[in-house]
Chain A
Amino acid sequence: MRRPTEEAPWLRWVLCLAAVGVALLFLVLPLVAVFAEAFRRGWGPVAKSLSDPDALAAVRLTLLVAAIAVPVNLVGGVAAAWAIAKFDFPGKRLLTVLIELPFSVSPVISGLVYVLVFGAQGWLGPWLEERGVQVVFALPGIVLATIFVTFPFVARTLIPLMQDQGRTEEEAAATLGAGGWAMFRRVTLPNIRWALLSGVLLCNARAMGEFGAVSVVSGHVRGETNTMPLHVEILYNEYQFVAAFAVAGLLALLALVTLGAKAVLERAG
């Protein structure tokens, strides 16, 4: 006799198989395809295309961009979460909505807005150009666009958790004599460390993998303003499929590591 809230065994099997089938065909197979295409001719071409100077330059640029964008969003995200979760102030709801805004904007538009401000016909473009500062089609533009698209990650993972934890532990620390910094470092930070790390990981994965926004502001100068995803596109358009999939495989690996780390963190937190 089965419980009244259970489906018949055959139905359970069908549903499980269907779900696993959808996941395999629709979600996992593309990932497999990346590696299969990359290793179509074995290790040799993969190693060769990954050690190509342009590929290495793309890897370096990607790391550099993430190394700037992630800390900026870390500081901003923690500040926003501290203000929103621990205080009441006018404009709090508006601020919360605005922080989420970049997620509802197309990546192409995220790049576009910087071209509108800093491009050759942008608001500040000509003024900056006279002073020899180039933003669009250069590193600053790529960094700005990346910060934009990864903007909400840290704040949105922290805010619900910190709201949930309330402010009494911080108040207890205050009555025991703790100043602002000691309170944050010894009480708040340890309570949010896993969520913070998880937010940073997601932010980083997106920063390294961003394509649309960066594509608009990059100018696609090989070896100079090409990040890894842009490099993938160029290789693909030049019909260097193995090389394209090799670099794509490296990016896919980053995604897998991020997912794995996130799963571990979720169990730790």
Chain B
Amino acid sequence: MRRRSALPGLGLALGVTWLWLGLIVLVPLAALVLRPWELGLAGVWASVTEPRVVAALGLSFGAALGAALVDLPLGLLIAWVVVRYRFPGRRVLDAAIDLPFALPTAVAGLALTALYAPNGWLGAPLAAMGVTVAFTPLGVAVALAFVGLPFVVRMVEPVLRDLGPEAEEAAAVLGATRWQAWRRVVLPALGPALVSGVALAFARAVGEYGSVIFIAGNRPMESEIAPLLIVARLEQYDYAGAAALGLAMLLLSFAFLLVFGVMQRRLRRGVM
């Protein structure tokens, strides 16, 4: 039931909002949901189970998951230091966290490629150790970890700040060592935020394009990500095939996010 309000403008605001949402988001997304079926059910299935597609989906989701899991400890470390410690350069560190948000993806892709190329600042020493990053699946994961890191930090930070030292003080008074307090009091409290940070990093990484294609090498079956395959199908005017792959990606990532959501709810219940 819509309640009348003393404030004006709900009708206008809702009209503008739905028009904006409908034209920009809903109608085009409807095309994504409807167009694949031009191929028929079997056609869609065949189109998303081609070996090359399966390999690309595996890489996109696998590397995104790996990257998000790498972001977990790194993000936790940075959030902890930024919230808990005072040291010179803390402000700069805090601002630097958002760099992957702000840096255009193509720029990030170029920069990472330059850094991790066999003759790059980081690529050369790594190559000396026998690790090749650029133009391999590892390069894909590095780029995805880069774009995902701020999500973990920014989800954990406010919770950590909110938590304050009281809970740890209580633990200390009850006889816990520093490590026990951290392990049994702090970490469980951060659990839900960590999971949602990882989920956001993962969601962003799965669809990532600009920062990956330069460093990936894009070799079919090996270092080709799913979004690139969509682009390739579009270039061959295979609209239905592109839409099928796009829809498959979207459904798969929603399925993953659902799992993250369940995990988060479990953890939250454990905390409360």
Contact = CB atoms under 8 A, between A and B. Distances in A.
Contacts of A209: 103-107
Nearest to B165: A5
B25 A148 contact: yes
Given A15-B77, A30-B111, A209-B105, A116 B35 contact: yes
Nearest to B145: A26
Given A174-B6, A229-B210, A37 B114 contact: yes
Contacts of A22: 74, 77-78
Contacts of A119: 239
A248 B110 contact: yes
B25 A23 contact: no
B113 to A, nearest CB: 8
A106 B250 CA distance: 8
Contacts of A260: 95
B25 A80 contact: no
Interface centre among A102, A244, A259 (most CB of B within 10 A): A259
Interface residues of B, number: 90
B209 A29 contact: no
Contacts of A174: 6-7
Interface string A177-221: 001100110000000000000000010010011111001100000
A114 B18 CA distance: 18
A14 B18 CA distance: 52
A259 B101 CA distance: 9
Interface stretch (B39-47, B189-197, B200-208, B262-270): B200-208
A72 interface: yes
Task: Report whether over half of chain A's contact residues are helix, strand or loop; otherwise say mixed.
Answer: helix
Contacts of B10: 83, 86-87, 89
A20 B89 contact: yes
A123 B31 contact: yes
A109 B239 contact: no
B97 to A, nearest CB: 7
Interface stretch (A49-57, A126-134, A250-258): A250-258
B59 to A, nearest CB: 14
Nearest to B230: A108
A269 to B, nearest CB: 16
B106 A233 contact: yes
Contact of A107 (B13, B120, B121, B209): B209
B31 A263 contact: no
Q: Which of B28, B87, B93, B209 has the most CB of A within 10 A?
A: B28
A113 B31 contact: yes
Nearest to A263: B95
B115 A116 contact: no
Given A29-B122, A101-B29, A229 B104 contact: yes
Interface in B1-53: 1-3, 5-10, 12-14, 16-18, 20-21, 24-29, 31-32, 35
A121 B237 CA distance: 8
A95 B231 CA distance: 30
Nearest to A232: B106
Contacts of B7: 86-87, 167, 170-171, 174, 180, 183
A33 B121 contact: yes
Given A144-B24, A248-B110, A26 B74 contact: yes
B222 interface: no
A15 B28 contact: no
Interface of A: 4-5, 7, 12, 15-16, 18-20, 22-23, 25-31, 33-34, 37, 72, 75-76, 79-80, 82-83, 86-90, 95, 98-99, 101-109, 112-117, 119-123, 144, 147-148, 151, 167, 170-171, 174, 179-180, 183-184, 202, 205, 208-212, 215-216, 228-230, 232-233, 236, 244-245, 248, 251-252, 254-256, 258-260, 262-263
Given A109-B249, A229-B210, 6 more contacts: A28-B96, A29-B115, A106-B227, A109-B250, A248-B104, A248-B111
Interface of B: 1-3, 5-10, 12-14, 16-18, 20-21, 24-29, 31-32, 35, 74, 77-78, 80-82, 85, 87, 89, 93, 95-108, 110-112, 114-115, 120-122, 145-146, 149, 165, 168-169, 172-173, 178, 181, 203, 206-210, 214, 227-228, 230-231, 234, 237, 239, 242-243, 246, 249-250, 253-254, 257
